[in-house]
A and B are shown apart, each in its own frame.
Chain A
Amino acid sequence: MAVERPAPAIELINVSRRFLSPTGKSLTALRDFTMTVERGEFVAVVGPTGCGKSTTLNLVTGLASPSAGEVRVMGAPVKGIDPRIGFVFQTDALFPWRTVIENVMAGPLFRGKSKAQAEASARDWLARVGLARFAQHYPHQLSGGMRKRVALAQTFINGPEILLMDEPFSALDVQTRVLMHEELLRLWSEAKASVVFVTHDLEEAIALADKVYVLTAGPATVKSVYTIDLPRPRVVADIRYEQSFIDYSRTIWADLKEEVETSYARAAA
């Protein structure tokens, strides 16, 4: 391990992950997968649907373990669920029987903070995502975008050093999604966390990330890595009309398209 530089936030080294299908057959989701996420870096992972993108995130959380290879977080091998990790889910993972503020308080309470401390911190985070007025509402009373903001507050309140996001905004409409991108970039620049953002939306990946990993059709492995050299702070709503953005988009899409077509042909066969 290097002395002068801290270890990368996340390392996946030649990782493979196999599942057993219900009929007892072995299926490979990931094959020889290698990825490094530096501290404070924003990495996006794109690939065809169902190729195993989400599996990479589960390996980092410790909810799943690799069949071969090594997963390291902050320089140490993953053992169980790391408290420095935060996760934003694709589906609604809020607890519907708790009010908004009780949802945000969940993390600190689970981690043994006092109720008063948790509540004060939750109020602060609700204010930061602009939902202070909705503290006593239940999730079903909020719109999809507001529920996502609650989910962000619920995750950020724990002060994660690593933030994993599994297609978090894919269920939102396009306008709300752009607002959520701005919100996420703002929270990220304050929190200085390392992010892995899984998505199938290439423009979303380019607009947000420092690096874009393109995966092959399943079993997934890294096809290519692109460094996105767009200046920050970025304005997500406008960046997509800049020439450099369009160039990135065209280059990476040419790469991704082959995999999408392979995946599609396989599904149709």
Chain B
Amino acid sequence: MTDATVNITTASFRPGTSDAEIEAAAAKAAARRRRTVTFWRLGILIAFLSLWEIAGRMAWIDPFFYAMPSTIAGRLYEWITEGTSEGPLWYHLYVTMEESVLGFVTGSIAGIVIGVALGRNRMAADIFSVYIKVINSIPRVVLAPIFIMILGLGLASKVALAFVMVFFVVFHNAFQGVREADRAMIANARILGASDWQLTRSVIVPSAMSWIFASLHVSFGFAIIGAIVGEFVGSRFGIGLLINIAKGSFDAAGMYAAIVIVMVVALGAEYLMTLVESRLAKWRPQPLHETQ
């Protein structure tokens, strides 16, 4: 691969080669590189799935525990066309998404607001930091039974769990982002005449935004974890419930199928987030495209 690229460039650097020729050669090399990357990506996936399928069929691994890609695909197809034993798949997915999104949105907003507030107020930060440290040291999933006991089997307990999963990540990044805001830029804004509130709104928050966005990328995944763990522990609907039921009936294909669904959703959310971020961050320098 590398050799091929090098050959093309050295070959086109003979004296008298026009810029257009060099550019054409570079474009060709880039296209070839993209094709190679796509080829290997697909190849590895296909190889992995085939190996799994063959291993299951040849009984190298026990399909009862490990299932096979074909049975997982079959189960997905069945869920999509006929619905699950607990009702339509879409409804379960809808419930899990509703919990995750609500937890994600409330958790991020609370994290950003409190993170920025404490980041701006040194005294408050010193006082509350110890409590935040203590609460942060609790593994979040142990709160699931408590939330379910207090808030019941419905939506509220899962949203609460997703909220605490998201809140701390976003809070920490927002706080750190505010602390890292450039001192010269802050001094500049103040001398230009910014009040405290103007300073927070038009300098501190925008400059903390890249930190905050970094946390939002991870924390949607955390929100899904919160919702699904909540559903494991006790619920009437949701993808977590499907996994739990599949586990109860030793339905390996069902468990993997549920995982595939969550994977697709998480990737979709990540994609949307990147889209929003690149729209908001159009002021940032574009990285130079690597063609070699």
Residues of chain A whose beta carbon lies under 8 Å from any beta carbon of chain B: 61, 63, 81, 83, 85-87, 89-99, 106-107, 110-111, 138, 140-141, 154-155, 158
Which residues of B181-212 are within 8 A (CB) of A?
Answer: 182, 184-185, 187-195, 198, 202-203, 206-207, 209
B interface residues, tally (CB under 8 Å): 23
User: B41 at the A/B interface (Cβ < 8 Å)?
Assistant: no
Instruction: Provide the residues of chain A in CB contact with B285, threshold 8 Å.
Output: 140-141
* Given A97-B206, A154-B192, A158-B193, also A110-B198 (CB < 8 A): yes
The answer to whether A81 touches B283 (Cβ under 8 A) is: no
Question: Which residue of chain A is the closest to B194 with respect to CB atoms?
Answer: A110
The answer to whether B188 touches A89 (Cβ under 8 A) is: yes
Instruction: Provide the residues of chain B in CB contact with A95, threshold 8 Å.
Output: 185, 189, 202-203, 206
The answer to whether B284 touches A93 (Cβ under 8 A) is: no
- A selection of 29 A-B contacts at a CB cut-off of 8 Å is A61-B187, A63-B191, A81-B190, A81-B191, A87-B187, A89-B187, A89-B188, A91-B184, A93-B182, A94-B185, A94-B188, A95-B189, A95-B202, A95-B203, A96-B283, A97-B209, A97-B281, A98-B283, A106-B192, A107-B192, A107-B193, A110-B192, A110-B195, A111-B192, A141-B285, A154-B192, A155-B192, A158-B192, A158-B193
Instruction: Provide the residues of chain A in CB contact with B193, threshold 8 Å.
Output: 81, 83, 107, 110-111, 158
Residues of chain B whose beta carbon lies under 8 Å from any beta carbon of chain A: 182, 184-185, 187-195, 198, 202-203, 206-207, 209, 281-285
A80 shortest CB reach to chain B, Å:
10
Instruction: Provide the residues of chain A in CB contact with B187, threshold 8 Å.
Output: 61, 63, 87, 89, 93
Instruction: Provide the residues of chain B in CB contact with A99, threshold 8 Å.
Output: 283
Instruction: Provide the residues of chain A in CB contact with B198, threshold 8 Å.
Output: 110
Instruction: Provide the residues of chain A in CB contact with B281, threshold 8 Å.
Output: 97
* Given A93-B182, A95-B203, also A85-B284 (CB < 8 A): no
Instruction: Provide the residues of chain A in CB contact with B195, threshold 8 Å.
Output: 110
B283 shortest CB reach to chain A, Å:
4
Known contacts A93-B185, A141-B285, A155-B192, then 20 further A-B pairs from the complex at CB < 8 Å, ordered by chain A residue: A81-B193, A89-B188, A90-B184, A93-B184, A94-B188, A95-B189, A95-B202, A96-B283, A96-B284, A97-B207, A99-B283, A106-B189, A106-B194, A107-B192, A110-B189, A110-B193, A110-B194, A110-B195, A140-B285, A158-B193
